Amino acid sequence: MHVTLHLTTSCNLNCSYCYSAPSKKGIEMTREIIDKSIEFSCREFNSNIGIIFFGGEPLLRKDLIRYTIGRCKSLEQQEEHKLNFHFKVTTNGMLLDSDFLKFSKESGLNIGLSIDGDSRAHDLNRKLGNGEGSFQFIDKNIDTLLEYQPYVNALMVVSPGNVKYYARSVEYLINRGFRYIIASLNYAGNWNNEHLKELEEQYNKMSRLYKKWTLEQKKFYFSPFEMKLATHIRGNDDNCYSCQLSRRQISIAPDGKIYPCVQFVKDGISNADFSIGDIWKGFDEKRELLFNKSVEAKDGCKDCALNKRCYNTCSCLNWQTTGQINQVSPLLCETERILIPIVDRLGEEMYNLKLPMFIQKQYNLAYPLLSMLEDEITSNKN
Amino acid sequence: MEIKPVKEFREPDYPTLDDFIKNPHYILAHAPERWKGNKILWAALISLALGNQSCDFIQNKHSRIEFIKIHEGPDKNDSKENVIPKDSSFVAPLFHHGEGIGAYGCVVIMPPVFINEQEAKQIILNELRKQNLLFDTTAQPLAKIILRTEKKLWEESNGDYKERDTTEFRELTFDGYNKELNFGFCFVSSMKYNHFTDYEPATSTVSIEDYKKTSEKIRSEIRKANDVNAVVFYEPIPYTKRDEDGDRSQRHEIMNKRKEMAVDSLKAQVSDFVRWLKTEKITLK
């Protein structure tokens, strides 16, 4: 189970597409709320708990991150609890420094860096309060970050404005040393047919790059393609990739209210209608109501041949784009119809060529472990 | 933009995990070279990739060991036993019955007689069935075998025709396959011949079709792929003397006779294959 702690609603950036835009008067999570959140999580979810630090910008409250991890570690040491925590933080990278990176490595805190690609793609949306692009400020931290966290996730957002840089941005990130590219479309953006044509072209470019890298036996992960290949290769098991609204993850706002997913928290105050309980009383009946609504068959999707491979199960995306948990966005429908055939052609091509990296990555369940073992062997040699 | 349900969508042609998991040796056969070269990684791959399928795998290996003894047909002059690595497949030798050569052109030197592809498939299946060797004509091996074939294309250019080199990549389909044993047979019909024969310049107006040569190419590619156990049969095209064509009144009868010879030759190929399995103590049951 993943529990996202929204440590603060303040942020040092002002990104145009942010779904939890910074509030003028930042709300901070207190240590008491953190303690209660951990207590609640241990009570509800037992042994394996992933704590994710989110914001605003969570690195504005490094002290709270250190505090939370410290509390969890001490609980882990108490044998009677049999607890196992793991930690992740999603950051804009502005406040990364060696001290924090050293701490993250020692404490097993995994970092996800929000970066949209090269400077052109990134600076279009990810700006400081004064309108200046933030790329130059995070770029200088990347080498150190990769040194401490070679498996760091690069979290890309592709919007209508920067879609033309999509493939080039992924290539830039891979060449920069990132291996895990988690790319999402900004579905709330103002997409038109021209943008969709561009998106198709960019997916085709990505398909060629993906094949090239696989041929070169490079190790990398490009989420839109990997997840779509998985919907065919792993079939129903692919459910593990979906959030299952509040069943696999929840978000806790600075005030202790529980939400089904990060996007519902917004500024931590204004969207309380979607709160599904709080850390003192636990879940209320809304949790089940929302979940049941989220798994209802979607209008227009029932008879679609791509239904089982479509991302239409993402309730927060549906809600963000249509205002309804169980109503799919036409934009999502368009983009899925573009993506799936491109990924399938790529899958067929790579399978026919029997590319070893493709076969290992997609069909060998032990691949992540083997890949890490290989890295370990290589780093020891060096 | 609107929601448009897709009415029909072709199932993609790469396998699912369920298909793959039944054949764990593919994971080993298609490991990156750098993994194979590292003892620790290779050992880890074998134990981790097989995981809880190891019992099935060992069982499969046993059934394979029964019939996998040598990599290909024994060289009669070589008494040495050619033991193959456990994780490789084997391909039976080509069994020579029928010349497998025909010729076309302005002067028909040796008009070939072909067995209809469906008919040939049926003959092979029947002969194998007599030995309790059962093959499914609709199934295909999980691993695909793609053959590269060099061709020439004639193209019109400014009113003139010019040859252009081209390379085709085409998947080999098996005519019968036993999924449990991962064993397939392939009959090199005129269609397969056209698909997989490399271009050779014609020296006259007569072109020669050498089915054995193409069959050997197919065998060799199956071996290289190292994914499926297989045997290749070919269009026999029995040898006949040229003067048999002389009497046109008897042509129909001659052609029928040749057809019978072709069928007998194909049966002989299958029979040799079965004998070879027995000689090598290879069990397909």
ipTM: 0.83
Task: Kindly indicate the confidence band of residue B70, based on its pLDDT and cuts at 50, 70 and 90.
Answer: very low
Surface of A (159-198) touching B: CB under 8 A: 191, 193, 196
Concatenating the DSSP letter of every residue in B65-76 gives: HHH-SBSSPPPT
Give mean pLDDT in consecutive 10-residue pieces for chain A, a chain of 382 residues. Answer: 92 86 78 95 86 93 96 86 89 95 95 96 93 94 94 96 96 96 93 96 96 92 95 71 74 93 83 90 90 80 88 84 87 95 93 88 89 87 72
- Residue carrying the six token digits 């979290």: A155
* Gap between the Cα atoms of A131 and A196, Å rounded: 27
Distance CA A212, CA A171 (A): 11
Residues of chain A contacting residue B144, judged by C-beta atoms under 8 Å apart: 351-352, 354
pLDDT tens readout for residues B143-174: 778 888 888 777 777 777 777 788 888 889 99
Contact A109, A65 (CB under 8 A): yes
d(CA B70, nearest CA chain A) in Å:
25
Nearest to B32 by CA among A371, A130, A277: A371
The token pair that represents A322 in the structure block: 């249509």
- Tell me which residue has tokens 């072209």: A201
A240 at the B interface (CB within 8 A)? no
Q: Please indicate if any CB of chain B lies within 8 Å of the CB of A217.
A: yes
Distance of CA A276 to the CA centre of its chain: 22
pTM: 0.68
CA distance A337 to A210: 19
- Residue A352 C-alpha from the chain's centroid: 31
Torsion angles phi and psi, residue A369, rounded to 5: -70, -45
* Alpha carbon distance B145, A88 (integer Å): 44
Residue B153 and residue B163 in contact, taking contact as beta carbons nearer than 8 Å:
yes
Contacts of A237 in chain B (CB under 8 A): 17
Partner-chain residue, chosen from A232, A348, A363, that has the shortest CB–CB distance to B27: A363
Q: How far apart are CA A202 and CA A120, in angstroms?
A: 16
Residue B146, classed as helix, strand or coil, is strand
pLDDT tens digit sequence for B87-118: 456 788 899 888 888 766 665 555 678 888 88
CA separation, residue B172 to residues A269, B29, B182, B217 (Å): 63, 19, 15, 12
Spatial strand order in the sheet of A180-185: A221-222, A180-185, A153-158, A109-114, A84-91, A48-54, A2-6, A249-252, A257-259, A277-278, A282-283
The dihedral formed by the CA atoms of A172, A177, A179 and A184, expressed in degrees to the nearest 10: -40
For residue A90, report the phi and psi dihedrals to the nearest 5 degrees: -105, 120
List CB contacts (< 8 A) between B22 and chain A: none
